[in-house]
Structure 1
Amino acid sequence: MPGITHRVLETNGIHLHVAEAGEGPLVLLLHGWPESWYSWRHQIPALAAAGFHVVAPDVRGYGGSSAPPEVEAYRMKELVADFVGLLNALGERTAVVIGHDWGAAMAWTCAALHPDRFRAVVGLSVPHLGRSPQPPIALFNTLFKDRWFYVLYFQEPGVAEAELEADIPRTIRTIFAGTPGFDVTAEAVRSRKPGDGFLTGVEPPARLPAWLTEEDLAFFSKEFAHSGFRGGLNRYRNMDRDWHELPELATVKIEQPALFVVGEKDPGRAFAPVDLMKPLVPHLQEMLVIPGAGHWIQQERPDEVNAALLRFLKSLPA
């Protein structure tokens, strides 16, 4: 894309491919599942034009970045170390960290554990909920009992990979433009039984939403044809490990300036109670709900998201 450069940097013993643009204070953009740096294609030029050095890595396991084979290589401690090391590789002391989906969880955790390195934080779609009262997988088993739930389906290595990689273009089209398996409010998802897959009962739509092009889908499909889905899925397989390794998340407060943005129709709102984050993020400046927007918020509604990000960034101390 014009104005965006690419390079590979070494951090925390691995290599991260990054897309970057602009000069000025560093802004780090962290994508979610199943995405890539390309999810920020509308934000990178806008933030760069406003006077920021914008860096969007492919998270480990994705795109052009290293993809270690071990499940535990994707625990939150390793991911946070990647991003602290990325600041070092860039020669920067601090950054504003912005994340979407799993990238939001990473951003919140970066801010919680390293307030000296991450001077402000923005979460898109996923709020900061601290630490659950019990390990997440046990909690999900209690909540969903015999009902199908995508996080539980993702736990067995190799199962979801085989399904999602069987026809990558179809998978990507269904997840981004159709009914994704994480939409627990959708009838096709609610009617699933144990043993069903992430794509069971749903079909890729013939027509794309206005915010998504065939070229966009082709880019994502090419990235996952290269990397596969295992790295991203391994993030879900570390939820209990994170719970045990990061007990401080139960009480630590994020004292930096913060912003939360979510789509009104994001299916994650059904099981991520936003109000729980308020005592953990006392300097949350705004909780913005964008009417009509879904989960892929920065791609669906780039103008509104960019305006909110720039309003927040320009409010920060120089």
Structure 2
Amino acid sequence: MTIKSEPGKLEQKQIKTSARGYTYGYYTSPAQDGKPTLLLLHGWPDDSSLWYTIANDALIPNGYGVIVPDCLGYSLSDKPDDYKEYDSKAMATDFAEIIKTEGIDKVIVIGHDWGSGLAQGFYFFQPEHCSALGMCNVAYIPPSTQKRDIVAMNDQFEKIYGYRCFNYMSWFASDESDAICDAHVESLFHLCHAKVDENQDPTKGNLFTTPDGIKKFIQADIKPETHPSITPQFKKHWIEKLTEGGFHAPFNYYRNFINSQGTHDNKAGPKVDVPTLFVGYSGDLVCRAENIQPSIQAGLLPNHTNTILSGGHWGLLHESDAFNEAVLKWLKSLNV
């Protein structure tokens, strides 16, 4: 199956939120036969198109409602310069306003990459509107009032896995990352959507886990072969949208994370009282599938479905049939 780059059956809409005055572009299709609606949240450096394939090929044909925003900083949505505007509590309020505009009270929220963090934030801060929580690649991170310590996190990863999973984050959050990525968008696309070697040893060097690895790679304009699922249309959409919007806003998610003072005033968590799904990928060496295990073992995810698939960080696109099947199986098991 190839990746869709057009919204298909999804209707494009726009809203200016009353709480913060930010404009969001989003796409929607109404639920049928009493089925629930899903709020699908993308991560870096994607936009709503991340979800077009599963929406059009799996969810809508099975009667599920779909709401797919361009998250703050991307495509049709506003792109504030200040990283503090990318606070998960504030964005949870924005998402709640979007679903209320659609006449929806509760949604099943699923997120990928930073979208997984936003989905978790939606549960933490808007639990009354969340009936189930799905997380792709980025595992559950229990709310904590402690300031994020990226060095300590990498120290812990190195003890567990033998390498520093989040070495790339400091550069992404730096002042120079915007311009360099703006100038080398095509190389970055090929890096993100390259074929995955699931037998590689990340302790011997990985572009995301090696300091300045991504910077040096894209500055050399290296373009590895992309996964067979990638179409020229999808590549064109990806490059055009990021060229138009630039990388400053997308990188603000990293700046906010690194400078975050912790999670405060959450209404829910650390125990998740709704059904949860985690889809991890055996070839994702940055967002390791094993990272979900501490929360499972601590009893924080009592109604949990854990699914590990073959592929890398964008496995939901590259191997969409397997991902769609896993999500549909979970949805059919829910009583929401």
TM-score by length of 2: 0.83
Name the counterpart of 1:315: 333
User: Equivalent of 1:44, from 50, 55, 72?
Assistant: 55
The reply on whether 1:209 has 2:227 as its aligned counterpart is: yes
Q: CA deviation at 1:229?
A: 1.1
Give, in whole Å, the separation in 1 of the partners of 2:68 and 2:209.
37
Name the counterpart of 1:289: 308
Q: CA deviation at 1:58?
A: 0.6
Q: CA deviation at 1:185?
A: 5.1
Give, in whole Å, the separation in 2 of the partners of 1:72 and 1:23.
34
CA separation of 1:160 and 1:197: change in aligned 2, threshold 3 A = farther
Name the counterpart of 2:300: 280
Unaligned runs of 5+ in 1: none
Structure 1 letter corresponding to 2:308: V
TM-score by length of 1: 0.87
Task: Calculate percent identity across the aligned residue pairs.
Answer: 25
Deviations 1:9-64 (A, max 9, x none): 22242111112234342211000111111111211112011111111111000011
CA separation of 1:240 and 1:250: change in aligned 2, threshold 3 A = farther
Deviations 1:77-102 (A, max 9, x none): 22212211211222211100010011
Name the counterpart of 1:16: 24
CA separation of 1:100 and 1:192: change in aligned 2, threshold 3 A = closer
Name the counterpart of 1:174: 191
Q: CA deviation at 1:243?
A: 3.9
Give, in whole Å, the separation in 2 of the partners of 1:233 and 1:249.
27
Q: CA deviation at 1:171?
A: 2.1
Q: CA deviation at 1:305?
A: 1.2
Name the counterpart of 2:181: 164
Deviations 1:111-161 (A, max 9, x none): 23322101001101111021466523352475589x89111112223x110
The reply on whether 1:139 has 2:155 as its aligned counterpart is: no
**Please, which moves more after superposition, 207-216 or 125-134?**
125-134
Give 3-state SS (helix, strand or coil) of 1:255's partner: coil
CA separation of 1:241 and 1:88: change in aligned 2, threshold 3 A = farther
Structure 1 letter corresponding to 2:80: P
1:68-79 alignment, distance < 5 Å? 68-79=80-91
Unaligned runs of 5+ in 2: 1-5, 159-163
Name the counterpart of 2:275: 257
Tell me the matched-pair count: 310
Give, in whole Å, the separation in 1 of the partners of 2:64 and 2:12.
16
Give 3-state SS (helix, strand or coil) of 1:259's partner: strand
Name the counterpart of 2:72: 60
> Are the equivalent residues in 2 in contact too, given 1:184–1:190 (CA < 8 A)?
no
The reply on whether 1:228 has 2:246 as its aligned counterpart is: yes
Give, in whole Å, the separation in 1 of the partners of 2:208 and 2:187.
21
The reply on whether 1:33 has 2:44 as its aligned counterpart is: yes
Give, in whole Å, the separation in 2 of the partners of 1:251 and 1:60.
24
The reply on whether 1:118 has 2:119 as its aligned counterpart is: no
Q: CA deviation at 1:104?
A: 0.7
> Are the equivalent residues in 2 in contact too, given 1:169–1:218 (CA < 8 A)?
no
Give, in whole Å, the separation in 2 of the partners of 1:206 and 1:270.
23
Give 3-state SS (helix, strand or coil) of 2:25's partner: strand
Give, in whole Å, the separation in 2 of the partners of 1:6 and 1:156.
34
**Please, which moves more after superposition, 234-243 or 213-222?**
234-243
Structure 1 letter corresponding to 2:216: T
Q: CA deviation at 1:191?
A: 8.4
